[in-house]
Structure 1
Amino acid sequence: MEVLLLSQSRYSEWWRRSTVYQVYPKSFNDTTGSGTGDIRGLTAKLHYLQELGIDIVWLQPVYVSPQHDNGYDVADYENINPDFGTMEDFDELVGELHKRGMKLMTDIVVNHTSTEHEWFKQAVSGRDNPYRDYYIWRDPAPGGGLPNNWQSKFGGPAWQLDDASGQYYLTLFDKTQADLNWENPQVRQAVNEMMLFWARKGVDGFRMDVINLISKDQRFPDDDGSVPPGDGRKFYTDGPRVHEYIRGMYEEVFGRYEMVTVGEMSSTTLEHCIRYSNPEEREFSMTFNFHHLKVDYKGGQKWELMPYDFEALKRLFTQWQTGMQHGGGWNALFFNNHDQPRALSRFTDDDLYRAESAKLLATTLHGMQGTPYVYQGEEIGMPNPKWNNIDEFRDIESLNMYRILQAQGKSPETALSILQERSRDNSRTPMQWDESPNAGFTTGTPWLKVDERYPDINVQKELEQPDSILHHYRKLIALRKEHAVFTEGVFSRLDEAHPEVFAYSRTGEGETLIVVSNFSSKDITFRFRDAEWTGLNSAGKSKLLVSNTAADPVLTQELQLSPYASYMWLIGN
């Protein structure tokens, strides 16, 4: 009966009841001893992901690349980087996933290419080359120098000079990542043909990297700073033709192959994300937004530290839950990914209350509406590693910012302390499988350091403990498939700006889900407001679904919550 209800609802798409597991291949599992993970390493661990309950595996870029930005600088879209294996290895992965009833989502990076891509090599060979217009070129400013004052997201100007022609080309990220010119219909056709290549190979979906940046304001004006941060992003974020371009991809590729798609949206708005993910718009299945992961940015700046704003975190989750639901959009739910420090270290306690904290974050997130994403290592409570010196970092953004922060007057010690908190390398350390050397990730020298706490934090230990973080994730993933309220329930916040507690309900047809989480290291008393409690009482009997403490509390109007306690109840007749 429950399956019938879902199939008849507007939430019937299968991926709305699914859970995605994000694999950073370079750090997942190495089968060759090279120190770098590979495709066969993922294939060897599919049984682990299947037992976790994963439906979709998101594989990050394994294309040919010089690896200046760990694969997001693509030099050949239709061939596999030998560091990761072969096309035969990729085909085997697709086949093994499908045998298990699982699906593969791959990364598509088409805001820019590597400057080592053949398209760009042709483009710089002369102004009259047909590929010249595949990229964005501008003459120097009238007085000489940069075409405008836009800044790269990795630091420094967003323009690079081509000495041979005297023109500048746009690079919104690393200087070796040249932005594609989506105004050119040949670029759009080439991108569609590339995606069709992977669709025909059996890929089930795409994650589209910074896809809302592909349409630029063709005036390319200076940013006057009237809208912070004044780095030019207002002229290329959710740009004038972006929805047109995405609908074109849907018509040519996504819709034809019934693909699951997620758009990574940089500095976006709720209104745009509703459009991007509303099925009637025929664009994406869902979207990533990052507003909730900027609540510890001082003055909105990533490299300025401050304690995170808990009320802002709750407010943003609430706005996106209610806004997307009312507008017919769909959220991709996540606390962690390859570009973010570990949420465990960022928002909770990764030491004394590590297990409780990891379970709290999982419970809080998985109870919301949207498709949850689990980033590798999150399910075993991997924290940020302990960084000792700058030589341990590999991330190009972090190394750039280490120099920039010192140029701004910060000491090397201060610059290092900021990287320890903010670097993308925090989430990229090798997966911790067991307590053997290098955490079982490789028999060689790992490309990035392994966190020294791996003998205590690894998959094998988690599997052996019945109340582990890993088993907690399994339970949450299974519950999403069992109860329609996880997919359809209407979100309502219940904590009334409580300084330590995030509480919310999800109300569906005959069922109500309640989640209460104490985000502090203190013992807390939390009381539901009278009107809300009356409504909850009238909904029926309550059953505890998930607990992260030894206690199995009954749902009452007043709750006693131990440090980082988190509970989920189901109410129904």
Structure 2
Amino acid sequence: MSERPWWHGAVLYQVYPRSFADANGDGIGDLAGITARLGYFVELGVDAIWISPIYPSPMADFGYDVADYCDVDPRFGSLADFDALLARAHALGLRVLLDFVPNHSSDQHPWFVASRSSRENPKRDWYIWRDPSPGGGAPNNWISDFGGPAWEYDAATSQYYSHAFLKEQPDLNWRNPALRAAMIDAMRFWFDRGVDGFRIDVLWHMVKHAEFPDNPANPDFHEGLGEMWRVLQTHSTDQPEVHAIAAELRALADAYGERLLIGEIYLPVERLMAYYGAPDAPGVHLPFNFQLIDAPWNARALARLIEGYERALPEGGWPNWVLGNHDRPRAATRFGEPQARVAAMLLLTLRGTPTIYYGDEIGMGDVAIPTDMVADPRELRDPGKGLGRDRVRTPMAWDASPAAGFSTGAPWLPLHDDWPTRNVSAQRNDAASMWRLHRDLLSLRRRTPALALGDWLPVASEGDVLAYERRLGDARVLVALNLGTAYAPFALPDWARALRVALSTVAGDPDPRLLAPNEGMILT
């Protein structure tokens, strides 16, 4: 393992800072709260944490509208608080990654304030400005991911600026060398402080077609979808020039040693692979693989998906997997807890680097948000479509004390209804809990190199059973997962007959030849 980059054998954990731990009692999580809980990550068994945006922000999109790329928002603390967090994490052997938001800034960022002040301002071209269309109105038909046109008219200068998300999030112009240099400097600022890498927000959005043509209509659009799906983002995302930017960011990261870059990229697998880059111009180390979030949850479909992803990887490309994040429904809601346990075993036994979303390790589900507490701009702009993300960003439950140990004040979003029993403290003492399953999976992975680093090979199975082998040298591990709710026979391969069940997702006497409903098992 010492010959490989640290992230090959690592497990990442996403922290949504507003909702993880609040140290000052204002109901909003903060850096001091995370620092106080760093021992938790060691106890659970993860290797690195990725912290969602902590930069100064008006919070129009809860930190993804950045007003200063080189500071910390007072809601979360200070640079000194971050330095203390980083130092303590490193002392515990943990790595720390930050979010980097390069596609857009806040409209209150000093750069944009200068840019919109006049057409002659030196920073005008740091953002994307266009004249109205010949007939008047927006320059083209591009639609914001949050609904409505992706253009906002500025009466003072008689031009429109581009915004792929909220109008409060103007798009940066990465074709401008000065802007590009300033953003590289911002990333360098954090590398100099010692961060171990970045998750790069909406990487595939960063460059737009130079001629700004209309996007084609989406032939599969229907009213049940969000408005953004009316057109295909052919010209507003995934442009060829983005790969040179990814290569430049990678070169910077590599100059600091083993620093990790993860790209948020929602694209089909064949297009996703381009973000690994080329041998002479490598891209991000891990283009996020979101397939498990949207996959049909049946054994045969998943087997094809995993095999297809493994085949598509470029030479030297390291895989990665996630089950959820701050934008998508939680696993416990999608599957129910019995099958969410199987999904956790899948996530943590596939080849590659997995990322756990905070709270999934205790089986937190989506939380119904009262109308008067809805905060997410996506839900507020397009209500009733199920697009709101507040429900997956609710506070972490640590114990049965008031506010679940998250805060001494009133939490900014409501807790899940069963928090008095669904919390870390309660599950820590329950051998059958979701938390203990995660801890046991991570412990087994850590002491079994074949699970952390071995090859992935399919194993013949039928019906609701998904089976595969992890192999490293002579060491062989078998994983068998029952994705159904009935008992499922499994023909144990000859080579595995001498193996023993190291871990099962259900209680009782496991029999690898007959998997119980919703049972996953690992044989070593």
In the superposition, the TM-score normalised over structure 1's length comes to 0.85
Aligned to 2:172: 180
**Is 1:339 the counterpart of 2:327 in the alignment?**
yes
Equivalent residues in 2 for 1:283-362, closer than 5 Å:
283-295=283-295, 312-324=301-313, 327-346=315-334, 348-349=335-336, 354=337, 356-362=338-344
Aligned to 2:441: 476
Cα displacement (A) at 1:283: 2.2
Please say if residues 278 and 327 of structure 1, whose CA atoms lie closer than 8 Å, have aligned partners that are also in contact: no
C-alpha distance in structure 2 between counterparts of 1:202 and 1:266, whole Å: 29
Quickly say closer, same or farther: Cα 1:311–1:345, change in 2 above 3 A: farther
**Is 1:378 the counterpart of 2:360 in the alignment?**
yes
C-alpha distance in structure 2 between counterparts of 1:177 and 1:67, whole Å: 10
Letter of the aligned partner of 2:249 in structure 1?
M
Quickly say closer, same or farther: Cα 1:514–1:237, change in 2 above 3 A: farther
Letter of the aligned partner of 1:137 in structure 2?
W
Could you list the per-position Cα deviations for residues 173-203 of structure 1 after superposition, in whole angstroms to 9, with x for gaps in the alignment? Answer: 1111111111111111111111111111111
Please say if residues 340 and 423 of structure 1, whose CA atoms lie closer than 8 Å, have aligned partners that are also in contact: no
Cα displacement (A) at 1:312: 4.3
Quickly say closer, same or farther: Cα 1:58–1:226, change in 2 above 3 A: closer
Aligned to 1:35: 27
Cα displacement (A) at 1:54: 1.8
Equivalent residues in 2 for 1:129-144, closer than 5 Å:
129-144=121-136
Aligned to 2:378: 397
Aligned partner of 1:48 among 40, 53, 58: 40
Aligned to 2:348: 366
Aligned to 2:248: 248
Cα displacement (A) at 1:525: 2.0
Quickly say closer, same or farther: Cα 1:390–1:496, change in 2 above 3 A: farther
Cα displacement (A) at 1:490: 2.9
Aligned-pair identity in percent equals 38
Which structure 2 residue ranges, 5 or more long, are not aligned? 221-228
Cα displacement (A) at 1:125: 0.2
Cα displacement (A) at 1:508: 3.0
Cα displacement (A) at 1:136: 0.8
Letter of the aligned partner of 1:315 in structure 2?
R
Cα displacement (A) at 1:288: 0.8
C-alpha distance in structure 1 between counterparts of 2:84 and 2:367, whole Å: 33
Aligned to 1:509: 473
Equivalent residues in 2 for 1:437-516, closer than 5 Å:
437-494=402-459, 498=463, 500-516=464-480
C-alpha distance in structure 2 between counterparts of 1:64 and 1:159, whole Å: 24
Quickly say closer, same or farther: Cα 1:7–1:34, change in 2 above 3 A: closer
Higher helix share: 1
Please say if residues 159 and 169 of structure 1, whose CA atoms lie closer than 8 Å, have aligned partners that are also in contact: yes
Quickly say closer, same or farther: Cα 1:24–1:544, change in 2 above 3 A: same
Cα displacement (A) at 1:357: 3.0
Please say if residues 217 and 240 of structure 1, whose CA atoms lie closer than 8 Å, have aligned partners that are also in contact: no
C-alpha distance in structure 1 between counterparts of 2:357 and 2:218, whole Å: 37
Indicate the SS of the match to 1:178: coil
Could you list the per-position Cα deviations for residues 247-269 of structure 1 after superposition, in whole angstroms to 9, with x for gaps in the alignment? Answer: 11222344334311111112253
Could you list the per-position Cα deviations for residues 54-113 of structure 1 after superposition, in whole angstroms to 9, with x for gaps in the alignment? Answer: 211111111100111110110111111111111111110011011111111000000110
Could you list the per-position Cα deviations for residues 482-528 of structure 1 after superposition, in whole angstroms to 9, with x for gaps in the alignment? Answer: 22322443323346673x333222233212222222223x2232334
Could you list the per-position Cα deviations for residues 200-245 of structure 1 after superposition, in whole angstroms to 9, with x for gaps in the alignment? Answer: 1111111111112212211111122267655241223321111111
Please say if residues 197 and 253 of structure 2, whose CA atoms lie closer than 8 Å, have aligned partners that are also in contact: no
**Is 1:569 the counterpart of 2:523 in the alignment?**
yes
Cα displacement (A) at 1:160: 0.8
Quickly say closer, same or farther: Cα 1:488–1:98, change in 2 above 3 A: closer
Cα displacement (A) at 1:42: 0.2
Cα displacement (A) at 1:121: 0.3
Indicate the SS of the match to 2:190: helix
C-alpha distance in structure 1 between counterparts of 2:237 and 2:147, whole Å: 17
Aligned residue pairs: how many? 516
Quickly say closer, same or farther: Cα 1:105–1:363, change in 2 above 3 A: same
Please say if residues 30 and 441 of structure 1, whose CA atoms lie closer than 8 Å, have aligned partners that are also in contact: yes
C-alpha distance in structure 2 between counterparts of 1:493 and 1:423, whole Å: 37
**Is 1:15 the counterpart of 2:7 in the alignment?**
yes
Equivalent residues in 2 for 1:246-285, closer than 5 Å:
246-273=246-273, 275-276=275-276, 281-285=281-285
Quickly say closer, same or farther: Cα 1:207–1:275, change in 2 above 3 A: closer
Could you list the per-position Cα deviations for residues 358-391 of structure 1 after superposition, in whole angstroms to 9, with x for gaps in the alignment? Answer: 321211111101111111111111111244x422
Cα displacement (A) at 1:441: 0.9
Indicate the SS of the match to 1:337: coil
In the superposition, the TM-score normalised over structure 2's length comes to 0.93
Please say if residues 341 and 423 of structure 1, whose CA atoms lie closer than 8 Å, have aligned partners that are also in contact: no
Two-structure CA RMSD over aligned residues (Å) = 2.2
